[in-house]
Amino acid sequence: MDSLWFSDICGHHVSPFTMLDFDQSCHRKHGFSLENKLIFGRKLYKQALTIARVVSPSQLAIAPSPDKEPVDQDQNHVAWTSVKQERWEGELVVQGEIPLWLKGTYLRNGPGLWHIEDYNFRHLFDGYATLVKLHFEDGRLIAGHRQIESEAYKAAKKNKKICFREFSEVPKHENFMAYVGDLAKLFSGSSLTDNANTGVVKLGDGRVVCLTETQKGSLVIDPNSLETLGRFEYSDSLGGLIHSAHPIVTDAEFLTLLPDLLKPGYLVVRMEPGTNERKVIGRVNCSGGPAPGWVHSFPVTQHYVVVPEMPLRYCAQNLLRAEPTPLYKFEWHPQSKAFLHVMCKASGKVVTSVEVPLFVTFHFINAYEEEDEDGRVTSIIADCCEHHADTSILDQLRLKNLRFFKGEDVLPDARVGRFKIPLDGSRNGKLEAALEADEHGRGMDMCSINPAYLGKKYRYAYACGAQRPCHFPNTLTKLDFVEKKAKNWYDEGAVPSEPFFVARPGATEEDDGVVISLISEKNGGGYALLLDGSTFKEIARAKLPYGLPYGLHGCWVPKK
């Protein structure tokens, strides 16, 4: 009976009684550290008996090419080292208490495999997707991870080389004609990657989709087994090759932006639950620049979609290059200025387009409408993790820079950039910090909010900040926009991923809930962490049997 068995980290099926010895053989075989062997020993036998779903041995696989790089805390933090196996699942020992109301699965996506054979990728965003799950129920925690079976990943594994165009990596061609053929395929999109390594969303109809910036990189997964079920095929004829990596997804709709590189602008589209058809709400024409600005994310209010036009713009020529440029697929055009466009969700009309100070952001946090005494909307506030209009963060995310931290304070400053967009016909909007950036160590990215406050006036956000000196955001931070204060969680040498807020059912306070994060430790280990959403104090942690690479964005799938 499968439910009596653990699947171990090496892909074997073993009894909990024998797990301790088996772990040691894995350690020798694969050369990675399993510090918490007791988790898998006799202590957990009773818990192991009650695990409901465990993978079968035939499904398990060992990593295609074990990474030979040593995990050295000074040279190669586990956060930036390829995951050592394709999949694993098991129950973790919990220190502290998981609230009994927390029932569901946190899924986190991200690039987790940065090499094929002995070829090492160069940028964080190039890695093949690793999906991680933390399933909470009855105070217990079952964790697991699995590689997403994109065509790009499967082809790389089969052919032992990169076969599709990734964020910065392109296939190496054997001759000029092969290169020309690849360019032809680029225009049709067939050579673009479907490596869905950026985010994961739960649609209103329950389907769970992993996403990246290419439209073809929309892959449906099973949130329980983490199995890749197939491509999410958009059934409309809107075309285009790319979209925002961060759609706005609620139980009622899926909103996203489709950049138009030929006639610079953006289509704002909506897809209803139960369908695969996106319908156009409206179109925004760019106010400046030779191409649309990069729209990794965008915010919405209750009635409006805010379309950012960042001076960091897509660049068709850079898409064609065989070697990455300093700004990869983008170009910085400060002379083209920066704009925010506001579209009415109901009518599709652009109600205003304002010029704003130059900015660089990957992630908008939230937006809301401000009203006058008569209830008329007078302005829109839009918050983002803003990098002081400095594009150097893209270069800082090269694996070479992330892997060789020598203690220098090299993380570029960031802040919570707060835009104010007047709706009175003014031509300019404002941008200033929502709170003093020293509150969060001048690091700021990977944000989440209470989803009940999406598009509404809100007080709290959760993000990664910095304790300096550092080369990457290394704290979990709770931001209070009323008090203009931040609470920071820090574990020396650790790399925390996105702090994800889950509200307590029935809560009336905005910060009544928990914050989930996955931590990569400096000693090569890792653990799942639960913080109280209000006090921001630790309430539980559970050590993983292996250190996980850094990951990007997640979602919550509540248990029905």
Lookup: tokens for 129: 């997707």
CA–CA gap between residue 409 and residue 547 (Å, rounded):
25
Q: What is the DSSP string of 258-320?
A: EEETTTTEEEEEEE-TT---EEEEEEEE-SSSSSPBP-S---B-SSEEEEEE-SEEE-HHHHH
What's the angle, vertex CA 550, arms to CA 544 and CA 553, rounded to 5?
105
Residue 77 in marked binding region: no
Is-contact 305 268, C-beta < 8 A?
yes
56, exposed or middle or buried, with CB in 10 Å at 0-12, 13-18, 19+?
Answer: exposed
Q: How far apart are CA 76 and CA 198, in angstroms?
A: 22
CB of 304 closer than 8 Å to CB of 369: yes
Q: What distance in Å separates the CA atoms of residue 417 and residue 176, rounded to the nearest whole number?
A: 46
Sole residue written with tokens 């639960």: 530
Pairing of strands 228-231, 219-221: antiparallel
Please tell me the distance from the alpha carbon of residue 362 to that of residue 255, in angstroms, as a whole number. 17
Rounded Cα distance, 433 and 429, in Å: 14
The token pair at 473 is 């955001």
Q: What is the SS3 assignment for 132?
A: strand
d(CA 463, CA 118): 35
- Residue 363, marked binder: yes
Helix (H) or strand (E) holding 415: strand 415-422
* Residue 296 labeled ligand binder: yes
Q: Which of 204, 417, 219, 215 is nearest to 299 (CA)?
A: 417
Instruction: Answer whether 462's CB lies under 8 Å from 446's CB.
Output: no
User: Tokens 């908008």, residue?
Assistant: 364
| Residue 198 · residue 211 · CB < 8 Å | yes
Measured on CA atoms in the order 89, 94, 99, 100, is the torsion positive or negative? positive
Picking from 194, 195, 190, 183, the residue whose alpha carbon sits closest to that of residue 319 is 183
Please count the other Cβ atoms lying within 10 Å of the Cβ belonging to residue 47: 16
> What is d(CA 151, CA 138) in angstroms, rounded to the nearest whole number?
37
- Counting Cβ atoms within 10 Å, is residue 13 exposed (0-12), middle (13-18) or buried (19+)? middle
| DSSP-assigned states of every residue in 444-490 | -EEEE--GGGTTS---EEEEEE--SS-SS--EEEEEETTTTEEEEEE
State both tokens at 340. 């925010």
246 is in an annotated binding site: yes
Annotated binding residues, as ranges? 246, 296, 363, 553
Annotated binding residues for Fe cation, as ranges? 246, 296, 363, 553
